[in-house]
């Protein structure tokens, strides 16, 4: 088909070779467009860095929040619920359940060896099944460092958990320090805690089966089992329960010698509550400290204390007992047993989902299991509506909600700030179009269409945008990957410490760039650059060719 002037018709907006040549030459010859590219690069880098650190932070907070709570928990606080063994048996029979474990939760007071009383949340757990649900053993702090630990992080030479400490002389050193801790002047000053303050120190901590086992291994085992090597029930404290422990870099803790908690004893006091909600006499018990744990969540690390399930049950009066008659007395004048057992109670069951089962599906299954047991003991067990069955996300929703909002807010703010690049590109392209006015006139005179001229500058914007986001992305990756050394260097050089490990749960700034988010940011960077180039490109297209040719 031919038009009126006899030329073959062709689409006027199809890209032309002159646009490619001029884009290339403009890019290589001019400094100003490189500045536009730099602004796109910096904005892209800034947003990628912020997005990476914030999402990494959110991820860390979520992971920390998720520890020790399983996938789903059945809860009835304070008074607890009976027949938990039957519920556990029902749950363990389900395909959706990988593991389940009973717990008792209560508030308590913990008298520390240094005359300090801490308010704590006491958790009675069955260490083995609890570990199967939550990975409790992995949170134990005083344990020999594995090759995996040391491959991921550096540990200071003074770290008690280092391989070197397991050597003979180190072992002696540790023992000496522990002994010093026991017989230090502070301890003398405050006196032993009750009659058993120094009880069985040596015999409790010497493993009768493996007397040669290094102390750190004995500690680790004691922590995992909540028993001393001598077999006594023991407590595991959150790392920040003892004010002697101080958090330092690399997720490590230092302790003041006199306050090294494991192998020492604490007095735990709880307030038993009856099934009807009545309060009994406070119960106290001296417990050796088997170990400490860390989940990197301050509210958990500073307040949680784990004790063996049966100890908690007994102290809180939740263990199974024989029912006695209110009226009848036996030959000694004490209330006579009725022959019926009052079942033991638990306040929580934590459940781990089988692979491929979502927490929501598990939650439904748990409710069904509960209902089955409830149907067998109507009147003795609360119905499903009176207990809480929550997924891990529901349990920590409040805890991570604030961080989620903060992440979204900061990301949005930086995205808005990076709109500055649009203005910069616009200003720079406006200048470029001004400088190239005569070229535009020449191109129009040889027949270039308005669309062709617009595309010349728009294409230029696209290429600058693409180069800018590539440079920005490389820059962001380099910074994020090395953000910790950079942070350290800033600290050493200028005393600038943004993330204080004593305060924040992360001493290492997240240094992973989420690829999908980076792609989104890069795409937006190009779109921003094109937006910036759009108005100058349209202006270029609308320039009157005659005045353009006369432009000086």
Partner 1 sequence: MNDPILQVRAIHKTYRLGRVDVPVLRGLDLDVREGEWVAVLGASGSGKSTLLHLCGALDRPDRNGGSITYRGQNLSGWTTSEKDRYRNMTVGFVFQFYHLLPEMTVLENTALAAMVRYGRFGYSMRRRQVQRRAGELLEAFGLSERVRHKPAELSGGERQRVAIARALMNEPQLLLADEPTGNLDAVTGSQILDVIAETHKQGQTIVMVTHDRAIAGRADRLVQLTAGRIVAA
Q: Which residues bind partner 1 (CB under 8 A)?
A: 3-5, 7, 10-12, 14-18, 20-22, 25-26, 29, 438-439, 441-450, 452, 545-546, 549
Least separation in angstroms between residue 430's CB and partner 1 is 19
- Asked if 103 and 90 count as a contact pair (C-beta separation under 8 A), the reply is no
- Asked if 52 and 318 count as a contact pair (C-beta separation under 8 A), the reply is no
What are the start-end ranges of the H helices in 346-482? 359-376, 392-417, 420-435, 437-445, 450-481
Torsions phi, psi of 299, nearest 5? -65, -25
Least separation in angstroms between residue 150's CB and partner 1 is 58
DSSP code at position 15: -
Closest to partner 1 by CB, 453 vs 529, is: 453
Count Cβ atoms below 10 Å from residue 484 Cβ, excluding itself.
16
Least separation in angstroms between residue 37's CB and partner 1 is 18
Least separation in angstroms between residue 481's CB and partner 1 is 39
Closest to partner 1 by CB, 24 vs 377, is: 24
Closest to partner 1 by CB, 21 vs 198, is: 21
Strand partners, 337: 324
**Cα 34 to chain centroid, rounded:** 41
Closest to partner 1 by CB, 120 vs 448, is: 448
Least separation in angstroms between residue 538's CB and partner 1 is 15
Least separation in angstroms between residue 465's CB and partner 1 is 21
Q: In the numeric block, which tokens belong to residue 296?
A: 């990197």
Q: In the numeric block, which tokens belong to residue 275?
A: 């099934």
Closest to partner 1 by CB, 16 vs 390, is: 16
Q: In the numeric block, which tokens belong to residue 503?
A: 């305060």
Measured over the CA atoms of residue 46, residue 51, residue 54 and residue 56, the dihedral's sign is negative
Closest to partner 1 by CB, 239 vs 463, is: 463
Closest to partner 1 by CB, 355 vs 447, is: 447
Strand partners, 119: 109
Least separation in angstroms between residue 36's CB and partner 1 is 18
Q: Return the closest-CA partner of residue 54 out of 502, 506, 420.
A: 506
- Asked if 440 and 540 count as a contact pair (C-beta separation under 8 A), the reply is yes
Give the chain's end-to-end CA distance (angstroms, integer): 41
């Amino acid at each position: 088909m031919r038009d009126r002037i006899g030329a073959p018709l062709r689409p006027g907006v199809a890209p032309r070779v002159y646009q490619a040549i001029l884009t290339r030459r403009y890019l290589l010859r001019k400094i100003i467009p490189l500045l536009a590219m730099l602004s796109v690069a910096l904005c892209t880098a800034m947003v990628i860095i912020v997005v990476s650190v914030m999402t990494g932070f959110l991820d860390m907070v979520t992971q920390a929040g998720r520890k020790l709570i399983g996938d789903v928990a059945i809860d009835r606080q304070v008074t607890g619920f009976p027949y938990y063994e039957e519920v556990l048996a029902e749950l363990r029979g389900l395909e959706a359940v990988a593991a389940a474990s009973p717990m008792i939760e209560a508030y308590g007071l913990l008298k520390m060896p240094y005359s300090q009383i801490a308010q704590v949340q006491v958790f009675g757990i069955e260490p083995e099944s609890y570990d199967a649900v939550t990975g409790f053993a992995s949170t134990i702090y005083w344990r020999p460092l594995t090759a995996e630990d040391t491959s991921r992080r550096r540990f200071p030479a003074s770290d008690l958990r280092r391989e070197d400490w397991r050597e003979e002389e180190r072992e002696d050193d540790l023992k000496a320090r522990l002994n010093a801790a026991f017989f230090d002047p502070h301890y003398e000053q405050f006196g032993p805690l009750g009659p058993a303050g120094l009880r069985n120190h040596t015999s409790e901590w010497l493993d009768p089966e493996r007397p040669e086992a290094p102390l750190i291994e004995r500690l680790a085992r004691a922590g995992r089992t909540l028993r001393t090597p001598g077999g006594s029930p023991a407590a595991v404290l959150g790392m920040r329960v003892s004010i002697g422990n101080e958090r330092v870099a690399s997720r490590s803790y230092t302790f003041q010698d006199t306050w090294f908690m494991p192998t020492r004893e604490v007095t735990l006091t709880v307030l038993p509550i009856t099934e009807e909600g009545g309060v009994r006499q406070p119960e106290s018990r001296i417990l050796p400290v088997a170990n400490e744990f860390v989940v990197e969540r301050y509210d958990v690390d500073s307040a949680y204390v784990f004790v063996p399930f049966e100890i908690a049950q007994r102290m809180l009066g939740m263990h199974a007992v024989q029912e006695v008659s209110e009226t009848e007395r036996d030959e000694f004048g004490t209330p006579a047993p009725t022959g019926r057992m009052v079942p033991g109670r638990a306040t929580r069951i934590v459940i781990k989902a089988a692979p491929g089962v979502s927490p929501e599906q598990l939650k439904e299954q748990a409710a069904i299991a509960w209902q089955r047991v409830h149907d067998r003991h109507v009147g003795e067990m609360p119905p499903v509506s009176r207990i809480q069955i929550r997924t891990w996300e529901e349990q920590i929703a409040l805890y991570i909600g604030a961080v989620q909002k903060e992440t979204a807010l900061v990301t949005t703010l930086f995205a808005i700030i990076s709109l500055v690049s649009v203005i910069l590109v616009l200003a720079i392209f406006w200048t470029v179009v001004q400088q190239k006015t005569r070229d535009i006139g020449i191109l129009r005179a040889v027949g270039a269409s308005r669309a062709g001229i617009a595309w010349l500058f728009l294409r230029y914007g696209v290429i600058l945008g693409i180069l800018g986001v590539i440079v920005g992305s490389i820059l962001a990756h380099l910074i994020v990957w090395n953000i910790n050394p950079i942070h350290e260097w800033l600290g050493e050089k200028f005393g600038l410490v943004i993330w204080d490990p004593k305060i924040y749960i992360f001493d290492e700034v997240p240094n992973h760039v989420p690829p999908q988010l980076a792609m989104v940011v890069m795409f937006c960077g190009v779109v921003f650059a094109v937006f910036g180039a759009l108005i100058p490109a349209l202006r270029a297209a609308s320039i009157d060719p005659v005045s353009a040719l006369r432009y000086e």
